[in-house]
Structure 1
Amino acid sequence: MIEWIQATTADWDWATFWPELLGKAAGVLTGILLSWFLLIRRRLKSMNRLRSGDSDDVLFQAHYLHPLPETADASHLPSPPPSGVPDNRDQPPRAHYQLLFRNVAEKQTVPQIYDNPAAAELVKSLGDETSLNQPILPTQDTIGFEVINDAASWMSGASATSANSRDVWLFCMTAEDRQVVRKRCVRCFLIRPADLKRFHDWDWCRQNVTVERPWHWFRIVALHRVARLYADQCRMYSVADKATAMPLVDAQAGHRRIMALSLGLIADERPVSKPVVIDWDLQSKSPLGSQLTLQPGAWPDELVESA
């Protein structure tokens, strides 16, 4: 064996062999170390995103106004009022509904909904421009129409084979809570027109709606702002479309940011906790609450719903 090795390596240029061997070994080790570093860095970035709540998720959530009994336990009412103010805690609460919202489709990511990278990047950037006062994605022009249309089409396809009876649901894309809750992602709201119209009046919201968790007051504010924007949209599109209107020319430049869809979703839901009454006076004094635009006034009778 030794003689065979000696015979094989007799003509080798050792002055060249060792530098090449060491150079290639160094290159392989460097590649392994760089790959390991990039893998660890990628994992750390993913962990940081998870901790911060940053996400590419797209959630499809239906909203329900669950009627409450006429007589309710007063244990969930606010604390006793100050001295000199009548204590009405023994009376039934004025709230008549509990707001419930549930995921009604499989969670997706932005790249799964949008195969076009430009559209996916646009959705992420528009989400950063929203706020609790303006929760709906500020889409514009043709590409904005395509952003909404693709998500609405995905939702329609997901419920196409549903056994539930179909009803008209309003669909809008929001990121209303990017600055106020843990998970920052795109949320596609689904709500029936009659329910959304009720949220138009802030006095009605604060007097009649309870929630399942104290921090869900964000969603009441978001639905109020959606209802207000929906009323503006109905005013804008109160005139019937012209017979010569073309979707590629007329509809997309100033498109509807709230769309009407026929979907087979669950008609009603059940709460998972007792109603929580929000102390709106306290919330209005907070730094965030003082910046909100909350407007009283019922849905205008003259507005014709425009799909």
Structure 2
Amino acid sequence: MPNLVEWFSSLQWDRVLPELVGKSLGFLAGFAASWFLLFRQRLNAIARMQSGDSDDFIFQMHRLWELPHQANECVLLFRNVAPKTTLNDLYDNIAVRDFLKEVAENTSLDNPVLKTEGTLGFEVLNDAMGHIAGLLAITPFKRETWLFVMTCEDRQVVRKKCIRCFLIRPDDLNRFLDWDWCVKHVQVEKPWHWFRIVALHRIACVWKGEQEMAQAESDMARDGDMPLVDRQVRHDRIRMISVGLNDGERPIGDPHRIDWESHVDKLQQLGLTLAKPSAMPERDPEPAEAIAE
């Protein structure tokens, strides 16, 4: 005990106390800053979720289901065909993530296709195609030719803004090229799915342009040309892929005919003049079950 008292008395308290207090305050300040940053990060994550912004990557199949006993009448079906993943999980390169976020922000309902130009865009598109092709390689369904396109729809018309990779048969996408036919003959499972018909119509227009450009390039190409890397500077953003998907999907509930007249103003605000009230079909009355809901 005397030794302990003597040790305490020998300490230079004029130096010990300031150091002890300084280090304690530094520790408390670091702890408070770390807690604040984690708390702020959590608040930002909640705010992003509430605003609809997301880094999710979703793969969706689209098909037109012919309504029985109604000639030339179809219902648009779209279903998720793979587990949801994220931008960070799919691309480990930080620069690629930043590139995708930038091109996603530059999309709109008028042009929902991601502008994946250049060699970097070519590789980004190939990686996404390879991912879904690998996931669907073990399905028991018959393989068919589908079209693959990376999209990000306008935040003004969708609840959740994220990158969606569409899969659709070439024949079905070709039918979406005729906007008058879309307005008159395509129904949906839910009334708010109208924006997906607009997106598919715009994608069909892009596909037609790419086909015409590919044909022009094919006419000018020589058989002896090598597939050089420089060819990736301009590549098709809508690509063909061979996968097997369930062909037995059916509509959920009664289909809805879209009241396009109510969306004319919204489309015009977005810079789209696709439909006119005079060209729109009359709206069918809603089923009694839907009215009750």
- Counterparts of 2:264 and 2:72 in 1: how far apart (Å)? 18
In the alignment, structure 1 residue 234 sits paired with structure 2 residue 211: yes
> Alignment RMSD, CA only?
2.0
Task: Quote the offset at 1:215 in angstroms.
Answer: 1.1
Alignment correspondent of 1:222: 199
Task: Quote the offset at 1:167 in angstroms.
Answer: 0.8
Alignment correspondent of 1:50: 49
Going from structure 1 to structure 2, the CA distance change for 1:97 and 1:56 (only over 3 Å counts) comes to same
Going from structure 1 to structure 2, the CA distance change for 1:243 and 1:4 (only over 3 Å counts) comes to farther
- Counterparts of 1:243 and 1:295 in 2: how far apart (Å)? 44
Task: Quote the offset at 1:148 in angstroms.
Answer: 1.0
Task: Quote the offset at 1:287 in angstroms.
Answer: 5.5
Question: Partner amino acid for 1:117?
Answer: I
- Counterparts of 2:212 and 2:173 in 1: how far apart (Å)? 16
The count of residues paired between Structure 1 and Structure 2 equals 273
Task: Quote the offset at 1:245 in angstroms.
Answer: 3.6
Alignment correspondent of 2:37: 38
Assess if the C-alpha contact under 8 Å between 1:59 and 1:108 holds in 2. yes
Going from structure 1 to structure 2, the CA distance change for 1:10 and 1:216 (only over 3 Å counts) comes to same
Alignment correspondent of 1:22: 21
Question: Partner amino acid for 1:213?
Answer: K
Going from structure 1 to structure 2, the CA distance change for 1:282 and 1:129 (only over 3 Å counts) comes to same
- Counterparts of 1:249 and 1:57 in 2: how far apart (Å)? 30
Assess if the C-alpha contact under 8 Å between 2:104 and 2:152 holds in 1. yes
In the alignment, structure 1 residue 262 sits paired with structure 2 residue 262: no
Task: Quote the offset at 1:250 in angstroms.
Answer: 4.7
Going from structure 1 to structure 2, the CA distance change for 1:284 and 1:6 (only over 3 Å counts) comes to same
TM-score normalised by structure 1 residue count: 0.83
Alignment correspondent of 2:69: 70
Going from structure 1 to structure 2, the CA distance change for 1:290 and 1:141 (only over 3 Å counts) comes to closer
Task: Quote the offset at 1:95 in angstroms.
Answer: 6.5
- Counterparts of 2:267 and 2:173 in 1: how far apart (Å)? 27
Matches within 5 A, 1:83-232: 96-232=73-209
2:181 partner SS: helix
CA-to-aligned-CA distance 1:215-252 (integer Å, 9 cap, x gap): 11000000001111111111111226643344443531
1:125 partner SS: helix
Task: Quote the offset at 1:28 in angstroms.
Answer: 0.7
Task: Quote the offset at 1:137 in angstroms.
Answer: 0.6
2:229 is matched with which residue: 226, 237, 249?
249
Higher helix residue share: 2
1:100 partner SS: strand
CA-to-aligned-CA distance 1:246-296 (integer Å, 9 cap, x gap): 444353111000000001221231222210110112222336567315389
Alignment correspondent of 2:286: none
Going from structure 1 to structure 2, the CA distance change for 1:273 and 1:245 (only over 3 Å counts) comes to farther
1:9 partner SS: helix
Going from structure 1 to structure 2, the CA distance change for 1:153 and 1:245 (only over 3 Å counts) comes to farther
Question: Partner amino acid for 1:270?
Answer: R
Task: Quote the offset at 1:50 in angstroms.
Answer: 0.6
Alignment correspondent of 2:285: none
TM-score normalised by structure 2 residue count: 0.87
Alignment correspondent of 1:279: 259
Assess if the C-alpha contact under 8 Å between 1:171 and 1:190 holds in 2. yes
1:66 partner SS: strand
CA-to-aligned-CA distance 1:159-184 (integer Å, 9 cap, x gap): 12222211111000011233321100
Assess if the C-alpha contact under 8 Å between 1:66 and 1:268 holds in 2. no
CA-to-aligned-CA distance 1:85-105 (integer Å, 9 cap, x gap): xxxxxxxxx761111111101
- Counterparts of 1:111 and 1:242 in 2: how far apart (Å)? 41
- Counterparts of 1:257 and 1:217 in 2: how far apart (Å)? 23
Identity of aligned residues (%): 48
